[in-house]
């Protein structure tokens, strides 16, 4: 499948990936046939659609739990689920994100964030490969994330403070965040 864009917009892919990603995302977001799909949509760096099955009930509950815990954090900011962010490899949907008031004000009215929220959380699903999660971690840090968290299939949390780092015992930004969720 090729990109949903046509020349000259396709040329942005080589010169301005944010402009390309936003143009693709805007076109996909406006398409009612895409909205009707029972799939989670992301894109690759070529503007092609990547579709994943909808999340399981446990995945959704963990999104709500993590979002609720982050919402209780006293620092001013916003919690977002399925947060679309433009990366060098297309638009990715962060399962749960927390962003400062500054980042929120910059991107709240756009179709996708051009800079990652400070905290990006991926909830691991049976369909996720380890390499896919590692790639998302790398992309999120490259796009400005300060921390990337993985909620493992058993509910344990892994916290990363840099793209190539080993997981640390807890979050530096939210030290009280639990190491395991139900």
State whether 59 and 48 are in the same domain: no
Is pLDDT of 4 > 90? no
State whether 64 and 142 are in the same domain: yes
**28 contacts: CB under 8 Å, gap ≥ 6:** 4, 34, 41, 43, 49
Instruction: Answer yes or no: are the C-beta atoms of 90 and 42 closer than 8 Å.
Output: yes
The CATH number of whichever domain residue 59 belongs to comes to 3.90.1570.10
* Domain span at 13: 9-52
What are the φ/ψ torsions at residue 83 (nearest 5 degrees)? -75, 115
The answer to whether residue 170 is domain-embedded is no
The reported pTM is 0.92
**182 contacts: CB under 8 Å, gap ≥ 6:** 65, 155
* Tens-place pLDDT, residues 75-121: 789 999 999 999 999 999 999 999 999 999 999 999 999 999 999 99
């Amino acid at each position: 499948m090729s990109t949903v864009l046509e020349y000259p917009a396709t040329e942005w892919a080589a010169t301005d990936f944010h402009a390309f990603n936003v143009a693709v995302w805007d076109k996909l977001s406006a398409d009612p046939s895409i909205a009707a799909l029972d799939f989670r949509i992301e894109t690759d760096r070529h503007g092609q659609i990547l579709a994943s099955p909808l999340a399981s009930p446990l995945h959704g509950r963990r999104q709500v739990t993590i979002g609720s815990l982050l919402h209780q954090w006293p620092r001013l900011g916003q919690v977002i689920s399925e947060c679309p962010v433009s990366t060098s490899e297309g638009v990715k949907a962060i399962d749960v994100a927390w962003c400062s008031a500054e980042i929120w004000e910059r991107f709240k009215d756009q179709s996708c964030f051009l800079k990652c929220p400070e905290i990006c959380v991926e909830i691991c699903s049976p369909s996720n490969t380890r390499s896919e999660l590692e790639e998302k971690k790398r992309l999120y840090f490259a796009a400005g994330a300060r921390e990337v968290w993985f909620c493992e299939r058993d509910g344990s949390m892994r916290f990363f403070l840099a793209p190539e780092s080993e997981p640390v015992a807890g979050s530096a930004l939210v030290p009280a965040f639990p190491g395991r969720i139900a």
